[in-house]
Homo-oligomer: A and B are copies of this chain.
Amino acid sequence: MQIAIGLYPEFTSLDAMGPYQVLQHLPHSELVLCAEQTGLLRDDIGLLNIDVRHTFDDVPHPDVLVVPGGYITRSLAVDGNPVVEWIRGAHPTTTWTTSVCTGALLLGAAGVLDGRPATTHWSAYSELASFGAEPTEQRVVIDGKVVTGAGVSAGIDMALTLVAEIAGPIVAQSIQLGIEYDPQPPFDSGAPSKASPEVMQALIESLAR
């Protein structure tokens, strides 16, 4: 089973690294990081520079396709973009096609989400709907072979859900135990419905900077 995480310049690091940490432990699988070109590829803040060793052309038919998000997806989610065309070409033969955060917009642009329930970062529901998807306020949405996760950190939950589908709950739980994923956030502010107006305002000001 080949699992390909498809990257592009300005992806959000944890969107990719959450599933990467979980899926590397899936038995009988080969994990690949790929992008349009090999060589150094930077994340959205430009501090993480990854040496990518496989192109999309090297892995045209992965069994499991994973696409992370990033602010940049709003402009990448168009016909002809390399990551969109990779998804479009791969999806018909995948066992699972998945995304984290605004990676869902890239699935959308590739035609994967038309008429499907799906999730994305909470700030991108309207963009998601523009691709014919039904935005669904859930941490992880499974619709047939398409699995979408909510924003950034949700990639960990998405990947554990995926492992349970592929290899069963015991394997998924053993990976959870290995990465000590017993989350205890110091606050309960991880969704718009839970955050105070003051917190939302602080985030908006931070994004403006």
Q: Once bound together, how far apart are the Cα atoms of A192 and B49, in whole Å? A: 35
Given A179-B14, A190-B182, the answer on whether A49 and B50 have CB atoms closer than 8 Å is yes
What number of A residues sit within 8 Å (CB to CB) of B?
A: 71
Query: How distant is A98 from chain B, measured CB to nearest CB, in Å?
Result: 14
Considering the complex, give the chain B residue whose CB is closest to the CB of A173. Answer: B189
Q: Is the CB of A174 within 8 A of B206?
A: yes
For residue A151, which residues in chain B have a CB less than 8 angstroms away from its CB? 178-180
For residue A47, which residues in chain B have a CB less than 8 angstroms away from its CB? 20, 24, 31-33
Interface residue ranges of A147-165 to B (CB < 8 Å)? 150-154, 156-157, 160-161, 164
CB contact between A182 and one of B13, B27, B40, B191 (< 8 Å): that residue:
B191
Considering the complex, give the chain B residue whose CB is closest to the CB of A149. Answer: B180
CB contact between A156 and one of B139, B172, B183 (< 8 Å): that residue:
B183
Interface residue ranges of A37-80 to B (CB < 8 Å)? 40, 45, 47-51, 53
Interface residue ranges of A163-209 to B (CB < 8 Å)? 164, 169-192, 194-196, 198-200, 202-203, 206-207, 209
Q: How many copies does the complex hold?
A: 2
Given A180-B191, A182-B190, A183-B190, the answer on whether A173 and B154 have CB atoms closer than 8 Å is no
Q: Is the CB of B171 within 8 A of A152?
A: no
For residue A195, which residues in chain B have a CB less than 8 angstroms away from its CB? 173-174, 176-177
Q: Is the CB of A206 within 8 A of B40?
A: no
Query: How distant is A150 from chain B, measured CB to nearest CB, in Å?
Result: 5
For residue A45, which residues in chain B have a CB less than 8 angstroms away from its CB? 24, 31
> Does A135 belong to the interface (CB within 8 Å)?
no
Mask: chain A, 130-143; 1 = CB below 8 Å from B; 0 = not: 00000000011000
For residue A153, which residues in chain B have a CB less than 8 angstroms away from its CB? 21, 156, 179-183
Q: Is the CB of B174 within 8 A of A199?
A: yes
Closest 6 CB pairs of A and B: A151-B180, A182-B190, A173-B189, A183-B183, A14-B21, A174-B202
